[in-house]
Structure 1
């Protein structure tokens, strides 16, 4: 009799502990329909993407001025003189605001020749001033590149077309993703002779913004020389793809 009493007491304690842990869970219980807890048999989870193509509204031009001199000071002074002409072109000729021009690199370094007889021999110094220009008048990019080359920017490191309306376009891509998720879930539910009842959970995935990059780094010197010889460069911006994904869980009945 005493042993049976101990068993009853243990069972009661176990029930209390289980109930305490159940109440301690965060978030409400998922209910499928009429108070019945959702299970794997009455939910469906799908993943879907939403993608839109948009016109770019901004370009990032990466250019540089390279100069050489017998001494470090000579190379640096020559660079400053050429860069002053580049700045004049940016600010006065094209009216670009100073906040849209930033220095991305500046260095003065020695350059060497190597011969079997003398080994490594200093031949002079190289000064490089690199900048990134934010420009929004996309139809005039060709003219701007031509003008910068003529002013002394003798290295073109590429142009990147992008958009400054990422958040707006992300919302549009999300609408497409949700519509695709609903269509997928509906097909799955119909195939199982079920009907969708409502959304249980939504998880947004990452957003991919694929800017258009025109890279000219490998041929920057030839590109700059070619620009200088042309009356006007033609640069095509193309379109940008904005993509996002969602994972959505639905109740079925």
Structure 2
């Protein structure tokens, strides 16, 4: 390579680097970008997570009446009798009708394949969700339902009401923004600049994972007791700050 060509290539590389500017990572997942363009501000992009814990304020118990019969009508009739008995008992226990909702109903034939496919009867299943804003009602709902016709308890779910989620999400967002700002200040300081204002911000998350209920051991004739754990509401924010 002759001397003139070498000088030209170096000049081209220097010019290209000056046009592109520089970007470099600072910390975990945080990047400070700078530019030589006087019209564009330098920025730092960060993310922050905020978590708020709270006890459940709603419990949903999934239960089902299940009965068999030689005919479809007999299975249906037996299941209807048990369902009526269970609904009456829940009503008497202070669970209003609007808190008891049918989730599914099935009437299916049963076959015996021992000597070929032979119809031997039918099974009727009427499934319900029973909800209560008093989470301590969970065990009582189970005991009343099972003692009065319910054949299955499919699940118990401790949840947060929509109103409570909205309140907790607001608090979680505030925590997430505080965390993001702390990281942005640290990253900017490391780069020898300071954050000046927020350029953009986005929020994601806000859901929660219901806790798995813990069943307390008890005597055979004792009441059912469930102990829910706290529920975490988590929010993540992504913020872009201008720096100078």
- Report TM bin, short chain: 0.7 to 0.9
Residue 195 (structure 1) aligns with: 194
* Cα drift, residue 98 of structure 1: 1.9
Structure 1 residues 209 and 53, CA gap change in structure 2 (3 angstroms) = same
Residue 106 (structure 1) aligned with residue 71 (structure 2): no
* Cα drift, residue 200 of structure 1: 0.8
Structure 1 residues 228 and 77, CA gap change in structure 2 (3 angstroms) = farther
Residue 130 (structure 1) aligned with residue 121 (structure 2): no
Residue 143 (structure 1) aligned with residue 140 (structure 2): yes
Partners of 1:66 and 1:37 lie apart in 2 by 72
Structure 1 residues 192 and 200, CA gap change in structure 2 (3 angstroms) = same
2:234 partner SS: strand
* Cα drift, residue 49 of structure 1: 1.1
Residue 231 (structure 2) aligns with: 240
1:69-128 superposed Cα distances (whole Å, 9 cap, x missing partner): 0001101110011111110122122x222222110001111011111xx21111110000
Query: What 5-or-longer segments of structure 2 have no aligned partner?
Result: 1-37
Residue 84 (structure 1) aligns with: 84
2:227 partner SS: coil
Aligned residues: 205
Greater helix share, structure number: 1
Partners of 1:241 and 1:58 lie apart in 2 by 14
Structure 1 residues 37 and 90, CA gap change in structure 2 (3 angstroms) = farther
* Cα drift, residue 231 of structure 1: 2.1
* Cα drift, residue 138 of structure 1: 1.6
Alignment of 1:157-176 (within 5 A): 157-164=154-161, 165-176=164-175
2:117 partner SS: strand
Could you tell me whether the CA contact under 8 Å between 1:158 and 1:213 is conserved in 2? no
Residue 65 (structure 2) aligns with: 65
* Cα drift, residue 210 of structure 1: 1.3
> What is the RMSD computed on CA atoms of the aligned residues?
2.2
Could you tell me whether the CA contact under 8 Å between 1:46 and 1:249 is conserved in 2? yes
Could you tell me whether the CA contact under 8 Å between 2:76 and 2:107 is conserved in 1? yes
Partners of 2:199 and 2:83 lie apart in 1 by 60
Residue 75 (structure 1) aligns with: 75
Residue 251 (structure 1) aligns with: 242
TM-score by length of 1: 0.76
